[in-house]
């Protein structure tokens, strides 16, 4: 009895899970595996359109013989690069009509014309013509003929499905793609973006955790950058930072903080004289990181605030009795309480910043030293139109991600053991 019950339970579970699992599998897991396949191929953006045989039907009346009608099919291979094999053609003709001098490649069988056009090379074009005669000698209805669409079919190589593999893409990724520059930019961006957002998150959480007028209002405002649409925010910042008509540069010039406008998003390096040393700051990258911090510190803030509010008040009261100052309280009570949240946040934000695409894409498009790995995927795939290369870069990202996740889950597991 219990055996059948558990069987029913299992079956129900699978039925309930099936739709979700199927969808996730086909939209998320399948593409990740497909990336592996594509990355070993030489595929360009133009190759991914499947070549199709196409026919445009034009119906014309024949002069001085109303019982005849001329049908012209403009045949072509839709692809400019791939051949189509065994092109089959099929079209219907109205009742009481028959074709005159039918092309040798075609056969008529009970009002259906079947043609075998053989192989079409790339860019193939032909005007194929049929003349129809009405057996009863009356006029043929042009509209009726026009309304019937011819059917064409053919076999072609789908470049994605054949088994020609190459290591070219990976060679290019590692040796011709300024790979280490890419990697260091990505890590620089990820690391400072993550640390910055956590530091500001802690500050903001510490603020909001105190009592003051307008505290709930403040909490809502702090989350605005995180919930706002990235497109709107990125363009607003772009406008704000514009070197000539941007508000920030004009303000700084107005108050004589700077003498020359700064191209914050378009200049790769800024040389700063620091006690006689010339320091080279990666200006555009720094600006992008600041945007990143501005947009994502609210998340850190939210997590840390939730944790702070769960810290028992008694701890602070005890510290007061012991005569601890605010700094001491922060270091010995608050920090140990939130360190676990911070480490989780660090890992999560690290992984997500590592994959961040939209923010950089919208602000700089990857120019002036802000090209990270995700930007490179887009550039390779859609700017240079090399799908294979784009996939190869994606694979590199996935592999690095798997390493991060492995570390993350190890840490998570260790923490679970400790508790």
Partner 1 sequence: MKIKSLILYCLISSIFLFSLVSIWKVLSTLQGIDLENFNFAIILTLGIGISLINLIVGDKFNKAIKSIIFAILFTFVDGYLVQLMPIWYNIGIFGILIFYSFKIDKYNQKNLDLDHSSQTVVFEFLTLFGIVLFSFVILFPFYMMIVTSFKTQAALLINPLDFSINFAQDIKELFKSYFVIFDTYKFGRYILISTFVSVGTVIVTLIFAIPAAYAVARLNFFGKNFLSTSILIIYMFPAIVLVIPLYTVFSQLGLRNNVGGLLIVYTATTLPVAIYMLQGYFKSIPKELEEAAIMDKLNWFGIIIKIILPLSIPAISSVALYVFMIAWNEFLFSLMFLDNPNSFTLSRAIQYLSGDAETPRQYLMAGSVVVTIPVLFIFVYFEKYLVSGLTAGSVKG
Residue numbers 360-389 binding partner 1 by CB under 8 A? 362, 374, 377-378, 381-382, 387
Rounded least distance, CB 293 to partner 1, Å: 10
Comparison of 154 and 381: residue with beta carbon closer to partner 1: 381
**Among residue numbers 169 through 208, which ones bind partner 1 (CB under 8 A)?**
203-204, 206-207
Work out whether 165 is an interface residue with partner 1 (CB under 8 A). no
User: Do 314 and 304 meet the contact criterion of CB atoms below 8 Å apart?
Assistant: no
Comparison of 134 and 334: residue with beta carbon closer to partner 1: 334
Comparison of 131 and 398: residue with beta carbon closer to partner 1: 398
Work out whether 220 is an interface residue with partner 1 (CB under 8 A). yes
CA 351 to chain centre: 16
Rounded least distance, CB 8 to partner 1, Å: 9
Work out whether 403 is an interface residue with partner 1 (CB under 8 A). no
User: Can you tell me the distance from the alpha carbon of 183 to that of 227, in angstroms, rounded to the nearest whole number?
Assistant: 29
Cα–Cα–Cα angle for 217, 228, 394, rounded to 5 degrees: 140
**Among residue numbers 25 through 84, which ones bind partner 1 (CB under 8 A)?**
26-32, 34-35, 38, 48-50
Rounded least distance, CB 171 to partner 1, Å: 19
Q: Which of these segments, 86-94, 133-141, 172-180, 318-326, binds partner 1 (CB under 8 A)?
A: 318-326
**Among residue numbers 82 through 101, which ones bind partner 1 (CB under 8 A)?**
none
Cα–Cα–Cα angle for 173, 179, 185, rounded to 5 degrees: 140
User: Do 51 and 156 meet the contact criterion of CB atoms below 8 Å apart?
Assistant: yes
Work out whether 413 is an interface residue with partner 1 (CB under 8 A). no
* Binding residue (CB under 8 A) for partner 1 from 2, 6, 104, 419: 6
273 DSSP β-pair partners: 278
Comparison of 174 and 409: residue with beta carbon closer to partner 1: 409
User: Do 39 and 392 meet the contact criterion of CB atoms below 8 Å apart?
Assistant: yes
Work out whether 273 is an interface residue with partner 1 (CB under 8 A). no
Work out whether 316 is an interface residue with partner 1 (CB under 8 A). no
Q: Of 109, 74, 90, 96, which Cα lies nearest the Cα of 144? A: 96
Comparison of 143 and 313: residue with beta carbon closer to partner 1: 313
Residue 305 has a CB neighbour count (10 Å cut-off) of 23
Query: Residue 311, exposed/middle/buried by CB under 10 A (0-12, 13-18, 19+)?
Result: middle
- Would you give the binding string for partner 1 spanning residues 121-160, x where CB under 8 A is met? -------------------------------------x-x
* Binding residue (CB under 8 A) for partner 1 from 2, 3, 20, 101: 20
What is the full DSSP assignment across 97-152? EEEES--TTEEEETTEEEEEEEEE-TT-EEEEEEEEEETTSS---HHHHHHSPPEE
- Would you give the binding string for partner 1 spanning residues 233-252, x where CB under 8 A is met? x-xxx-xx----xxx--xx-
User: Can you tell me the distance from the alpha carbon of 387 to that of 36, in angstroms, rounded to the nearest whole number?
Assistant: 12
Comparison of 126 and 358: residue with beta carbon closer to partner 1: 358
Work out whether 256 is an interface residue with partner 1 (CB under 8 A). yes
Any idea which residue has 């200006």 for tokens? 283
Work out whether 333 is an interface residue with partner 1 (CB under 8 A). no
Work out whether 19 is an interface residue with partner 1 (CB under 8 A). yes
The count of residues interacting with partner 1 (CB under 8 A) is 94
Rounded least distance, CB 64 to partner 1, Å: 45
Task: Report in angstroms the alpha-carbon separations of 406 from 352, 409, 412.
Answer: 15, 5, 10
H/E stretch holding 310 reads: none
Residue 399 has a CB neighbour count (10 Å cut-off) of 9
Comparison of 97 and 376: residue with beta carbon closer to partner 1: 376
Work out whether 416 is an interface residue with partner 1 (CB under 8 A). no
CA 185 to chain centre: 20
Comparison of 269 and 404: residue with beta carbon closer to partner 1: 404
* Binding residue (CB under 8 A) for partner 1 from 3, 175, 227, 259: 227
75 DSSP β-pair partners: 55, 126
């Amino acid at each position: 009895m219990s055996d059948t019950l558990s069987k029913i339970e299992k079956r129900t579970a699978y039925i309930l899970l099936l739709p979700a699992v199927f969808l996730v599998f086909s939209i998320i897991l399948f593409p990740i595996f497909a990336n592996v396949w594509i990355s070993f191929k030489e595929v360009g953006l133009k190759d991914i359109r499947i070549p199709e045989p196409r026919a445009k039907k034009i119906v014309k009346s024949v002069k001085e013989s109303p019982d005849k009608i001329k049908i012209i099919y403009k045949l072509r291979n839709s692809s400019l690069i791939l051949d189509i094999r065994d092109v089959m053609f099929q079209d219907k003709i109205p009742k009481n009509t028959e074709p005159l001098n039918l092309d040798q490649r075609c056969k008529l069988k009970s009002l259906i014309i079947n043609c075998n056009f053989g192989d079409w090379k790339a860019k193939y074009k032909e005007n194929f013509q049929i003349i129809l005669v009405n057996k009863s000698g009356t006029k043929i209805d042009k509209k009726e003929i026009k309304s019937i669409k011819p059917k064409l079919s053919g076999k072609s190589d789908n470049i994605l499905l054949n088994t020609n593999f190459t290591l070219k893409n990976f060679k290019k990724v590692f040796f011709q793609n300024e790979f280490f520059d890419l990697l260091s930019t990505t890590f620089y961006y990820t690391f400072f973006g993550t640390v910055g957002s956590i530091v500001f998150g802690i500050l903001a959480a510490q603020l909001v955790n105190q009592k003051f007028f307008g505290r709930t209002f403040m909490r809502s405002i702090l989350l605005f950058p995180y919930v706002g649409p990235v497109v709107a925010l990125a363009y607003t910042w772009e406008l704000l930072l514009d070197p000539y008509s941007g508000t920030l540069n004009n303000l700084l010039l107005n108050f004589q903080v700077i003498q020359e406008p700064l191209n914050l998003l378009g200049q790769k390096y800024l040389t700063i004289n620091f006690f006689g040393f010339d320091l080279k700051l990666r200006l555009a990258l720094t600006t992008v990181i600041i945007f990143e911090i501005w947009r994502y510190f609210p998340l850190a803030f939210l997590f840390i605030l939730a944790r702070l509010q769960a810290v028992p008040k008694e701890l602070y009261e005890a510290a007061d009795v012991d005569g601890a100052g605010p700094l001491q309280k922060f270091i010995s009570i608050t920090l140990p309480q939130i360190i676990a949240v911070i480490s989780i946040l660090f890992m999560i934000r690290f992984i997500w910043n590592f994959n961040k695409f939209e923010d950089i894409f919208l602000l700089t498009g990857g120019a002036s030293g802000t090209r990270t790995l995700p930007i490179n995927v887009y550039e390779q795939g859609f700017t240079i139109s090399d799908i294979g290369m784009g996939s190869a870069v994606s694979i590199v990202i996935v592999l690095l991600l798997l390493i991060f996740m492995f570390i993350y889950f190890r840490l998570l597991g260790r923490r679970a053991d400790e508790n």
